[in-house]
Amino acid sequence: MPGRREGAGGTREYNEVMPYRVTLIPGDGIGPEVAEAAVRAVNATGVAIDWERVELTGKIIEESREELPAAVLESVQRTRVGLKGPVTTPIAGGFQSVNVALRKALDLYANVRPVRTLPGLKTRYQDVKIDLIIFRENTEDLYAGLEHEVVKDVVTSLKVITRRASERIARYTFEYARRLGRKRITAVHKANIMKLGDGLFLRCTREVAREYPELEYKELIVDNASMQLVLRPEQFDVLLMPNLYGDIVSDLAAGLVGGLGIVPGANIGEECAVFEAVHGSAPDIAGKGLANPTALMLSAVMMLEHLGEIAAARRLQRAIEKVYREGRRLTPDVGGTASTQQFTDAVVEAVQAGDGGA
């Protein structure tokens, strides 16, 4: 029966059996393993998805000499939604980060990383319920990549902050917080030192904040914010920051709840969205069945929400939480002995049984 689907990805006509089209980028290292696990989990929800698989690995980039192969970019531009595993990025040389290249090419300006305590998971903060969301401007700052060797062994890197990008990420954050019923937004900065760059970011954020009087707004210098996150993470609700601070602080926050292996990520633009695990490719454990697919599964939860499949997203979220709550089939990185497949089997079974609980 014809109808319409409403979601963050837009409204489109469809037939009841018409699947969503989603670009799948497995990546390399453990990427293909966690990507296959996430696909199985999503498929178990019953949402029909036509997965368009495109290969993107460090080896492919080196051989093609393209940081972002045209086939990958074309696929995401056409489907408008991507699910991406980790891709190895060389350090202090070699090609640019694929993540950065993809965000720039598609103007994925909003990086969204929810950081939540999973039930049953033992951490140093297991007696504290952490439930915060980090919003990171995704297209400029030092990640503009404007570096220059002035003379031998003297390098300058330009930090780029613009009104357009600052207002855009601030408005997205406040709108998101309003929609989800969040209460407090904290802007993180270093405007005490970088008075022009971070000062502009703060001025833009303050202007937007005045349009949302129902939301509490405050500001913290990034070093103090980092300390406060370690001391009392439960005090934070929504964090908003420029690119570099967002990258660092989101990894710090992930460490509070068990690590990058369980924290999802989304990159949102006006036209496209790419959902990804933010952990590395971990080549040392690739192919050994030890990888934890939780981060990419939770990223898939965010993808389902973006598509407007809210009920399916909730079923998958509850299924993952049920497996953690029971604690019997967890991967070694979170204290278990299960393989990637055994963990995935447990999640799929919970989704299909529909008994994840409230």
Which amino acids are annotated catalytic?
A: 143, 190, 223, 247
Closest-CA residue to 348 (of 36, 34, 45): 45
What's the distance, CA 226 to chain centroid?
20
CA dihedral 81, 85, 86, 87 (to 10 degrees): -70
Q: Which two tokens stand for residue 109?
A: 């300006």
Q: What residues pair up with 155 in beta bridges, in sequence order?
A: 149
The answer to whether 160 and 148 have CB atoms below 8 angstroms apart is no
Q: What are phi and psi of 20, to 5 degrees?
A: -75, 150
The answer to whether 88 and 283 have CB atoms below 8 angstroms apart is yes
Q: Where are the strands (E) in 10-103, listed by range?
A: 12-14, 20-25, 49-53, 81-84
Q: What residues pair up with 12 in beta bridges, in sequence order?
A: 5
The answer to whether 4 and 11 have CB atoms below 8 angstroms apart is yes
Number of Cβ within a 10 Å radius of residue 66:
16
3-state DSSP call for residue 355?
coil
SS3 content of the chain, % helix, strand, coil (to 5): 40, 20, 35
Compute the half-sphere exposure of residue 251: CA atoms within 13 Å on the CB side of its CA: 8
